[in-house]
Chain A
Amino acid sequence: MVFNGLISTTVFLPLVGSLIIAVLLKKNSHIFFFARLVTLLNLILSGWVLFAYKMSESSEKFKLIDRYENWIPFEFFKVEYYLGVDGFSAPLILLTGLLTAVAVFSSKNITYKVKQYFVCLLLLETAVMGVFSSLDLFLFFIFWELELIPMFFLIMVWGSGRKNYSAMKFLIFTLISGALILFGILILFATTKSFDMTMIPLLLQNKTLLIPMSFVFFIFFIAFAIKLPVWPLHTWLPDAHTDAPTAGSVMLAGVLIKMAGYGLIRICIGFFPESVSEYSLFIVILAVINVIYGAVITMRQTDMKRLIAFSSISHMGFVLLGIAAFSGSYEDKITGLVGASLQMFTHGTITGLLFLIIGYIYEKTHTRYIPHMGGLVHQMPRLSISLTIAGVAALGLPGTSGFISEIIIFIGAFPVFNFFTAIGVFGVVLTSGYILWMIQRIMYGPQLERFKNISDASIYEMIPVVILIISILFVGLYPSFITEIFKNGIISMIGK
């Protein structure tokens, strides 16, 4: 038994917080205050995790380990309580802490079932952080499934539009994904007799599986492809985003779909590197379809949230593009994977920010239909500047984090797949098209009569916006801070 405690505290603090909210707190104002306090504390803790990881002297792959071997102590089904971080997961934990805090701080206008709302958000945080820090496959699966329930209720109870339909669609797609993961895990266990994620890659090396290795790879790949999402399994995402409440969209785009990218790299690449190399042509084609197909469809969207949702599909294609570089030389692999992981991080902050701003605009104008908007810069100078910054970050302008992650991915993937990467790069032109067009239609133009009396975001509302903007600019201007961490994680994962 090894116990450091930091990572366990970070993962389970929101769970404890949600229990306290559920059982002890009655008044809404107390609930608001307490939820903010918990997420703020957890943001500090998750920052601390990253800091402690960076400072740690240990030469182990995984650091800050909390391990209790006999959690489920049957000889034939030995599940450990095993948490830890490496350079790949530590920044994602910080991202989760950051975006949950943003989600909680931005939901100040919730009036319906306040208690349950914050319980859901906090549970979600525990689940996602658990996914990023589990080193036992079974524990990983438990957290993966745990995420589903609060998100389902967030859409169904606090959503808008066709919320029942969208929540159910989200539920079914994610359940199928979870079932596939379980199937894969059980096959792996049957072969290796272990759930230990740090050992399985080694155990798999000289084993013949019950069924072909590439088949198991595809089971996991499809499971994560549903969640990422990859075309043609993406159809749940626009609906879920459109109908989720603002905080739900922020969490969904910001961290939930990053779980899939995490799984693709940690499990598909970590366990089945040969299969990834072998099928990289297939992966790169899917990546390019995602990038271009997503961007082209985004052009036709008239609902603000749906527009950003489709743009997420396009941007997740870049993650896949970075993963596809895995069939190249060692340098290409490192570049592509660091780019893909950084893209997950930056997309989380950028798209989280976009959903947050759009949520604010929707709260004030009560419309998300773009043709009905325009000229909002006159009433909302602050949100207008923020949307412009988020927009140019989304289209990969230098100085913002979006540029760094995209250029790293391109440099990794281009030497491996010239032609497909070139098509993917053209996605950048399409992105600037729909982003600038959206900003133009929402913000600029003459002042409209019907929006005469709406107000700008308040100082309080601007705090999460400004924090996200700072994080975007920080990574854009000082990228090596975070790329070095990712690089450590990736190198320790795929070996020297």
Chain B
Amino acid sequence: MDQLLWTIFFSPFISFVILFFIFKPFFGKMVRLSSFISIFAIGLSTLLSILILLDLSINQKVITFKPNEFLSVGNLNFGISLILDELTVVMLVVVTSISLLVQIFSIGYMSGDKGYIRYFAFLSLFTTAMLGLVLASNIIQLFIFWELVGLSSYLLIGFWHHKPSAVAAAKKAFIITRIGDFGLLLAILYLFVQKSEFASNSLNPIMIQDIIIAAKEGYLSDFVITIFALGIFTGAIGKSAQFPLHTWLPDAMEGPTPVSALIHAATMVAAGVFLVARFFPVFEASLIAMNTLIVVGGITALFAASIALAMNDIKKVLAYSTISQLGYMMLALGVGGLSAAIFHLFTHAFFKALLFLGAGSISHSTGTFDMNKMGGLRKIMPWTYITFIIGSLSLLGIFPLSGFWSKDEILSASWSSSGIIANIGFYLAFITVFITSFYMFRAIFLTFHGEFQGDISKGDLHESPKVMIIPLCILSVASIFIGFIVNPIISIAFIPSHWFSDFIGHTSGKAHVNIFTNWFVYGATLISFLAILLAYLIYISKNSLFIKVFDKFRFARQILINKYYFDYIYEEVIVKKIFLNGIAKGLNWFDTNIVDRVFGFIGWLSLNIGILLRQMQNGQLQTYGGILSLGIILIMIFFIFF
């Protein structure tokens, strides 16, 4: 089993090494072959991941492997080792399968690009890092791959490095997530302050399982657990683009669209959710940490969805939608719904990747992401249209698509959870359903319905090639069925009922609530349809009454278009005004004009004292005689008067 897992990890890594160090410098012409190598490698990983999932679902047990010594210095005793549990295996399947489909799609999307080999090399690097992250058994190893994921994201966002906006977005993504990583790193370091508590129970402070044991058994004080959990969550806020560190994700859309689908929708941004899930028992041990999850998740869900209402760039709509859905997952974790959160992560990966690839397919034809320059595409791109609708309905949570099952798990988890904060969380999530439905159908109506508004001739529009359509179709099938298949409410064939929830949440034996007895299942569907109707009235039938009312909210739209001025405050006010032109400029002035001048002054002083003293040695006997007499007189005065 150990070797199988290492194969999953090393297969994309070897592909990266071959592409980047052999193909790129020496065989720059063999572009097709390079993408096949990459796809073969990731295909192998996918196959093995699914096999391991099947194996683990039959004999449920957590496996850790003997660590291989990596670094041992004083406090730090750190070996590389893997962990295989339910969470890991689910993430393995998500990461490898979405990577595989995205890479196949990329053959068409990136064809003819100058950096084709580099692109596939970086995708392989990303998959490697992501696999290393989910397989890590100790927190330092996890941090290493966490940072490498950030690096590959940086490289892929800035892939078209001739575009200044892309490079700026890449830098922004890296730095903002690094602010989150700062919190994560402090949490890791904080473990070493508690090393005696760990040592007295013969635990290693960096092993994830030991940390969980320490939290469960109460070896650590509540205060310590809360601090640690909040530090971990800070890292998750950065990576999962939660409020208030969300601003990098919309900008990250500057990268190639398949990258957005893979990294900034399905996998990397879900790493924050994964991280919290990994340390879930630690969070459970602290009420403050759990409530922070609810508050941040709930606010993010609503807040990001509201911005999505006003975006005109279809990828930005999807980006804010992703932030909002990640907020849902955090909220689910906060109310104790571990399996609900991971279930939503699982289904979301498929339908959001589908939507992003759909947007990529659209821009492949129209050459733009601006929805005001689209319209009427449903006749020209029927496959893209249908699959996009499927993805949207799944995102909205319409029965019986995948999103329905996972979103309802979240709603019922927060509904059944007690406490005022959990209740607020539920209503935030519920309202978000309405907004989500509205912005998705606004996007569909602007893109696919009405008349074409773009500036290229209509004849140039075309449906994308098969190599792009097939992944869309596979993802559509997944977006329809996978939610029901993995977590059915009744046993079907060999899949037991509520398999996924039992698998992840270890809830087997406990009674599952029949979700169809909850009012909000119907309520959510109802408001979804109301929102779709509203979008229809405004954007398709252009009902004058609704448009008039809609126009009344212009001031609100202004705020939304400016994303609540967060970018302005962060970049213009905090970074430029306060930091660069305030603190840094001041310190720089201080350094050149005060610190350096002081030494200059000391130099000047000693020089002048020297000049002064030199006067006394000018070689003239008269001066010497004068000074000599002066000295004698002074000594005499001294003796006479004292």
Contacts and interface: CB of A to CB of B under 8 A. Distances in A.
Interface of A: 172, 231-232, 235, 293, 296-297, 299-300, 331-336, 338-339, 375, 377-378, 392, 397-399, 403-404, 407-408, 410-412, 414-415, 418, 421-422, 425-426, 428-429, 432-433, 436-437, 440, 443-447, 479-480, 483, 487
A411 B603 contact: no
Contact of A487 (B73, B154, B588, B595): B73
B588 A425 contact: no
Contacts of A339: 73
Contact of A479 (B71, B147, B170): B71
Contacts of A403: 144, 147
B75 interface: yes
Contact of B70 (A333, A408, A479, A487): A479
A397 B74 contact: no
A487 B73 CA distance: 7
Contact of B75 (A399, A412, A418): A412
B74 A440 contact: no
Chain A residues touching B, majority SS: helix
Given A378-B162, A414-B193, A418-B193, A235 B591 contact: yes
B76 A411 contact: yes
Given A333-B74, A408-B76, A447 B162 contact: yes
A437 B179 CA distance: 16
Given A399-B144, A425-B182, A300 B580 contact: yes
Contacts of A300: 580, 584-585, 587-588
Nearest to B205: A411
A436 B174 contact: yes
A443 B145 CA distance: 26
Contacts of A333: 74
B75 A411 contact: yes
A297 B69 contact: no
Interface stretch (B91-99, B184-192, B523-531): B184-192
A414 B189 contact: yes
- Across chains A and B, which 9 residue pairs bring their CB atoms closest together, nearest first? A335-B74, A334-B74, A398-B144, A414-B189, A444-B167, A300-B588, A235-B596, A331-B74, A436-B171
Given A296-B587, A331-B75, A429 B175 contact: yes
Contact of B74 (A332, A398, A404, A446): A332
11 contacts: A172-B603, A293-B591, A296-B584, A299-B579, A332-B75, A397-B148, A404-B71, A407-B140, A411-B192, A425-B182, A445-B167
B162 A445 contact: yes
Given A375-B162, A432-B175, A414 B190 contact: yes
Nearest to A234: B595
A96 B271 CA distance: 42
B296 to A, nearest CB: 20
Contact of A483 (B73, B144, B162, B189): B73
B220 interface: no
Interface in B58-102: 69-76
Contact of B69 (A411, A421, A480): A480
B161 interface: yes
A440 B193 CA distance: 38
Contacts of A172: 603
B429 to A, nearest CB: 32
Contacts of B145: 398
Contacts of A447: 162
Contacts of A446: 162, 164
A380 B168 CA distance: 20
A103 B240 CA distance: 44
Contacts of A411: 74-76, 189, 192
Interface in B138-189: 140, 143-145, 147-148, 151, 154, 158, 161-162, 164, 167-168, 170-171, 174-175, 178-179, 182, 185-186, 189
A300 B72 CA distance: 38
Contacts of B167: 440, 444-445
A400 to B, nearest CB: 10
Contacts of A429: 175, 178-179, 182
Contacts of A335: 73-76
Contact of A440 (B73, B171, B587): B171
Contacts of B379: none
Nearest to A375: B162
A397 B149 CA distance: 11
Interface string B236-251: 0000000000000000
B74 A412 contact: yes
Contacts of B186: 422, 425
B556 interface: no
B185 A425 contact: yes
A143 B121 CA distance: 49
A428 B161 CA distance: 24
Contact of B164 (A231, A296, A432, A444): A444
B29 interface: no
Contacts of A378: 162
B574 interface: no
B599 interface: yes
A378 B114 CA distance: 12
A297 B192 contact: no
A377 B161 contact: yes
A377 B140 CA distance: 34
Contacts of A422: 186, 189
Contacts of B579: 299
B408 to A, nearest CB: 39
B506 interface: no
A418 B189 CA distance: 9
A232 B175 contact: no
A336 B74 CA distance: 9
B174 to A, nearest CB: 6
Contact of B580 (A299, A399, A483): A299
A331 B75 CA distance: 6
B168 A440 contact: yes
A232 B595 contact: yes
Contacts of A433: 175
B584 A297 contact: yes
B454 to A, nearest CB: 25
B590 to A, nearest CB: 9
A440 B343 CA distance: 39
Contacts of B158: 444
Contacts of A443: 161
B182 A428 contact: yes
B115 to A, nearest CB: 11
Contacts of A445: 161-162, 164, 167
Nearest to A427: B182
B178 A428 contact: yes
B72 A398 contact: no
B216 interface: no
B193 A415 contact: yes
B148 A408 contact: no
A446 B164 CA distance: 7
Of the candidates A336, A445, A446, the one having the most CB atoms from chain B within 10 angstroms of its own CB is: A445
Interface in B507-558: none
A407 B141 CA distance: 12
A397 B603 CA distance: 42
Contacts of A415: 75, 192-193, 195
B583 interface: yes
